[in-house]
A and B are shown apart, each in its own frame.
Chain A
Amino acid sequence: MLSYVARRILQLIPVLFGMSLVVFAIIHAIPGDPAMVILGERATPQALNELRERLGLNQPLYIQYWHYLLQTLGGDLGESIRTKKAIAQEIFPYLAATIELSLSALVFAAVVGVNAGIIAAWRRASWFDYIAMLVALIGVSMPVFWLGLMEQWVFAQKLALLPSIGRYNARETIHAITQFYVLDTLLEGNWAGFWDVVKHLVLPSVALGTIPMAIIARMSRSSMLEVMKADYVRTARAKGLNEFWVIYKHALKNAMAPVLTVMGLQLGTLLGGAVLTETIFGWPGIGRYINDAISFRDYPVVQSGILVVAFFFVLINLLVDILYAYIDPRIHY
Chain B
Amino acid sequence: MALASTQTVSKYIPTHWYDGWKRLRKQKTAIVGLSIILFFIVAGLLAPLLAPGHWDGQNLAVRLQPPSAQHWFGTDDLGRDLLTRVLYGARISLWVGFFAVAGSIVLGSILGLSAGYFGKWIDTLISRIFDIMLAFPSILLAIAIVTILGPSLVNALIAIAIINIPTYGRLIRSKVLSIKEEEYIAAAKVIGMGHTRIILRHILPNSVAPIIVQGTLGIATAVLEAAALGFLGLGAQPPQPEWGKMIADSRQYITTAYWTVLFPGLAIMLTVLGFNMFGDGLRDALDPKMKQ
Spell out A's residues near B (CB within 8 Å).
11, 14-16, 18-19, 22, 26, 29-31, 137-138, 140-146, 149-150, 152-153, 157, 222, 258, 268-269, 271-273, 275-276, 279, 287, 290-291, 294, 302, 306, 309-310, 313-314
Give every chain A residue within 8 A of B135 (Cβ-Cβ). Answer: 15-16, 18-19, 310, 313-314
Most chain B beta-carbon neighbours within 10 Å: one of A143, A268, A287: A143
CB distance from A54 to the nearest CB of B (A): 25
Secondary structure of the B contact surface, majority rule? helix
Give every chain B residue within 8 A of A258 (Cβ-Cβ). Answer: 292
Secondary structure of the A contact surface, majority rule? helix
Give every chain A residue within 8 A of B265 (Cβ-Cβ). Answer: 143, 146, 149-150
Q: Is the CB of B231 within 8 A of A276?
A: yes
B244 within 8 Å of A by Cβ?
Answer: yes
A294/B136 contact (C-beta < 8 A), A30-B148, A149-B261 known = no
Which of B83-91, B180-188, B270-278 is near enough to bind chain A?
B270-278
Q: Is the CB of B231 within 8 A of A310?
A: no
Give every chain A residue within 8 A of B144 (Cβ-Cβ). Answer: 26, 302, 306
Instruction: Provide the bound-state CA to CA distance between A273 and B137, in Å.
Output: 7
B13 within 8 Å of A by Cβ?
Answer: no
Q: Size range of the interface on B? A: 35 or more
Q: Is the CB of B254 within 8 A of A149?
A: yes
Instruction: Provide the bound-state CA to CA distance between A152 and B247, in Å.
Output: 14
Spell out B's residues near A (CB within 8 Å).
29, 128-129, 131-132, 135-140, 143-144, 147-148, 150, 220, 224, 227-228, 231-232, 244, 247, 251, 254-255, 258, 261-262, 264-265, 268-270, 272-273, 276-277, 280, 292
Q: Is the CB of A290 within 8 A of B140?
A: yes
CB distance from A276 to the nearest CB of B (A): 6
Give every chain A residue within 8 A of B136 (Cβ-Cβ). Answer: 19, 22, 272, 306, 309-310, 313
CB distance from B54 to the nearest CB of A (A): 26
Q: Is the CB of A141 within 8 A of B220?
A: yes
CB distance from A81 to the nearest CB of B (A): 16
Given known contacts A146-B269, A149-B265, A276-B232, what 8 new A-B pairs fall within 8 Å (CB)?
A15-B131, A26-B144, A137-B29, A143-B247, A145-B228, A153-B255, A272-B140, A275-B143
Instruction: Provide the bound-state CA to CA distance between A279 and B143, in Å.
Output: 14
